[in-house]
C-alpha cells in the first residue's frame, strides 16, 4: 500500500520525504488555504519536492471550467493529478480528461455508487472519506471495503485511495482491505512510527551500554 501525505505544508512534506517512505501527496482547497501562501507557489513547490503523484484540486462547478482548471493544474508537473469532487459536472469533466489521458483523483466520495460511477468515467483514483463518515456515525471503512469488492469484481483499474484518515487503525484497516493508497495527515504518519515500548526499549539499551562505558569504535 502506498503512503500519501494529506497536507500542503512543505515542511511536513520534506520531513516525511526524508524518511524514504513517502509515495505522494494529496491536497485540497482547505489545506492550501491553511498555508496562508499563494496556490501556485505551493503547488509548484510540492510537485518539485515529491517524486510520486500530487493531487491538486479543481474549484470550478461546471464541466468546461473544471476542464480548463485541470489543463492548468497538470502544468505543475508530470506527477500532478487533477482532483475533482464527485458531482454530475465533475463526471462530465472527468470523462473528457480521462479521454485526453489526464489522470484524475475523484474526491469527496462517500458511497460505493459514487465510486462505481467515477471508475466507469475513467478515474485514476477514488478517494472515499472514511473519517468524515465515521464522524457522523457511519462506518467509513465499510464503504471503502465495498468499493474494493466492486472494483475487483469488474476489474476496474481505478486505485482505491482511502482518505480522511483519523488514526493509525484506519491505516491498518485500509491495508487489510487491500487499499492501493492511504493518505493521512503528518500527525498520523508520526504516530505510525512511534510505540511506547520502542521508546522504553531504546532507553534501556542505551542505559545498559553507557553503564559499562562501551563503544562501537
Ligand atoms: C483527501 O484527499 C482529503 O484531502 C482529506 O483526506 C480530507 O480529510 P479530512 O476529513 O481530515 O479533512
Measured in Å, residue 185 CA sits from the centre of ligand 1 at 8
Helix (H) or strand (E) holding 34: helix 29-35
Helix (H) or strand (E) holding 129: none
pLDDT at 187: 97
pLDDT at 132: 98
Residues in the chain with pLDDT < 70? none
pLDDT at 38: 98
Ligand 1 atom at minimum distance from 163 CA: 6
Summarize pLDDT for 52-62 with one digit per residue, the tens.
999 999 999 99
pLDDT at 207: 98
pLDDT at 15: 97
| pTM for this predicted structure | 0.96
Angle ∠(159,160,164) on CA atoms, nearest 5: 135
pLDDT at 117: 98
Summarize pLDDT for 156-187 with one digit per residue, the tens.
999 999 999 999 999 999 999 999 999 999 99
pLDDT at 177: 98
Pocket of ligand 1 (CB under 6 A): 6, 26, 28, 107, 127, 129, 131-132, 163-164, 183
The dihedral through the CA atoms of 48, 50, 52, 56 has a sign that is negative
Conformational region of residue 213, where left means phi above 0, alpha means psi within -120 to 50, and beta covers everything else: left
> Which residue's CA is the closest to the ligand 1 atom numbered 9?
164
What dotted CATH number matches 2-211? 3.20.20.70
Summarize pLDDT for 67-77 with one digit per residue, the tens.
999 999 999 99
Question: Could you give the CA distance from residue 93 to residue 84 in angstroms, rounded to a whole number?
Answer: 9
185-191 contact pairs (CB < 8 A, 24+): 185/5, 185/6, 185/7, 186/5, 186/7, 186/9, 186/12, 186/15, 186/16, 189/3, 189/5, 189/16, 191/167
Residue 46 in grid coordinates: 510540492
pLDDT at 40: 98
Measured in Å, residue 197 CA sits from the centre of ligand 1 at 30
Q: Which residue's C-alpha cell is 505551493?
A: 42
Amino acid at each position: 500500500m502506498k503512503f500519501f501525505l494529506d497536507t500542503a505544508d512543505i515542511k511536513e512534506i520534506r520531513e516525511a520525504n526524508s524518511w524514504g517512505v513517502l509515495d505522494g501527496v494529496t491536497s485540497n482547497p482547505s489545506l492550501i488555504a491553511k498555508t496562508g501562501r499563494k496556490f501556485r507557489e505551493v503547488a509548484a513547490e510540492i510537485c518539485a519536492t515529491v517524486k510520486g503523484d500530487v493531487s491538486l484540486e479543481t474549484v470550478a462547478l461546471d464541466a468546461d471550467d473544471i476542464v480548463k482548471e485541470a489543463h492548468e493544474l497538470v502544468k505543475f508537473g508530470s506527477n500532478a493529478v487533477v482532483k475533482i469532487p464527485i458531482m454530475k459536472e465533475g463526471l462530465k469533466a472527468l470523462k473528457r480528461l480521462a479521454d485526453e489521458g489526464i489522470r484524475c483523483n475523484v474526491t469527496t466520495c462517500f458511497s460505493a455508487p459514487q465510486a462505481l460511477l467515477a471508475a466507469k468515467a475513467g478515474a485514476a483514483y477514488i478517494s472515499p472519506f472514511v473519517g468524515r463518515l465515521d464522524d457522523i456515525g457511519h462506518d467509513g471503512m465499510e464503504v471503502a471495503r465495498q468499493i474494493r469488492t466492486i472494483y475487483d469484481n469488474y476489474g476496474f483499474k481505478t486505485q482505491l485511495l482511502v482518505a480522511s484518515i483519523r488514526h493509525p487503525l484506519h491505516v491498518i484497516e485500509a491495508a487489510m482491505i487491500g487499499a492501493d493508497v492511504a493518505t493521512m495527515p503528518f500527525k498520523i504518519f508520526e504516530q505510525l512510527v512511534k510505540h511506547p515500548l520502542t521508546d522504553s526499549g531504546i532507553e534501556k539499551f542505551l542505559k545498559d551500554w553507557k553503564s559499562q562505558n562501551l563503544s562501537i569504535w
